[in-house]
């Protein structure tokens, strides 16, 4: 049976994948990590990446979505990244008599897909039946679960959004900006991604954008010039040390 995966990030980045179970689990995790903030900490002399959502909790939720989904439901597993949260949506409500309250206590499981669950245990993708949700809550205590229509949701709060909300009364730093602008269809995915990246890091450079979006620096420069010409963005300050601004409405172009 084929598996399908639909991924979206703040309406600016959407992808569909079709493939085997293991491929889609890895693709879903990579997509989510690519679209959330990654911090870092020092361990001895090494810098270690620290995602704003615990990587093992995120992975467990994705594996659970594919393991326990209703394969009679033609919908896909969805990974949706929003400015304040990440949602993992799995087709099918909880199976049998299982409830969210019982599930959160752990050591209880009613398996819709026993062969898939057994396979994932054997390849050590999951540790044991009934332990997934407690593991998620251990690493991400603010995670929540709900049934919406014919789907089961796991929701992670983004720590950057929580910290920002907690400081709402404070003046934001000069280089802080967010945007939810959706470009018209005529623009490339590269242009849409540039808008998202500039909104999150206004002092970013073409070189940094090239590394993050994984296209040539010349391609980034071309897209930036087009966005500036059409009035979606403008550059403030000197070429070195200035910042980008995303314009709320389309303008006449900018310097």
CATH topology of domain 175-246: Arc Repressor Mutant, subunit A (1.10.10)
Helix (H, G, I), strand (E, B) or coil at 10: coil
**How do the residues of the chain divide into helix, strand and coil, expressed in percent and rounded to 5?**
35, 25, 40
Q: Write out pLDDT tens, residues 222-247.
A: 889 988 888 888 888 777 777 888 77
Asked if pLDDT for residue 2 goes beyond 60, the answer is no
Locate 238 and state its tokens: 């000197």
User: pLDDT, tens digit, for every residue of 133-175?
Assistant: 888 999 999 999 999 888 999 999 988 655 544 444 344 444 4
What pTM did the predictor assign? Answer: 0.60
CATH assignment of 3-161?
A: 3.30.565.60
* Residue range(s) of every CATH 3.30.565.60 domain in the chain: 3-161
Tokens describing residue 92? 């099918």
List where CATH 1.10.10.10 sits in the chain.
175-246
CA angle 46, 47, 49 (to 5 degrees): 140
Segment 186-220, tens digit of pLDDT: 778 888 888 888 877 888 888 889 888 888 888 89
């Amino acid at each position: 049976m084929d598996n399908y995966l639909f991924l979206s990030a703040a309406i600016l980045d959407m992808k569909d994948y079709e493939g085997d179970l293991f491929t889609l689990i890895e693709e879903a995790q990579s997509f989510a990590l690519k679209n959330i903030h990654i911090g870092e900490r020092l361990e001895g002399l090494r810098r270690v990446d620290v995602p704003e959502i615990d990587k093992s909790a995120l992975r467990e939720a994705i594996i659970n979505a594919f393991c326990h989904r209703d394969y009679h439901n033609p919908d896909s597993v969805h990974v949706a990244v929003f400015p304040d949260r990440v949602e993992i949506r799995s087709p099918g409500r909880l199976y049998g008599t299982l409830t969210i309250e019982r599930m959160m206590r752990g050591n209880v499981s009613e398996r819709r897909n026993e062969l898939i669950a057994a396979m994932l245990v054997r390849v050590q993708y999951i540790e044991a039946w009934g332990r997934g949700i407690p593991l998620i809550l251990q690493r991400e205590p603010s995670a929540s679960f709900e049934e919406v229509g014919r789907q089961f949701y796991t929701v992670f709060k983004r720590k950057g959004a929580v910290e920002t909300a907690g400081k709402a009364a404070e003046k934001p730093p000069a280089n802080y900006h967010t945007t939810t602008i959706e470009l018209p269809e005529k623009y490339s995915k590269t242009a849409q991604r540039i808008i998202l990246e500039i909104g999150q890091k206004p002092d970013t450079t073409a070189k940094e954008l090239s590394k993050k979006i994984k296209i040539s620096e010349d391609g980034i420069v071309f897209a930036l010039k087009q966005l500036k010409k059409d009035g979606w963005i403008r550059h403030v300050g000197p070429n070195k040390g200035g910042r980008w601004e995303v314009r709320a409405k389309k303008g006449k172009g900018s310097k």
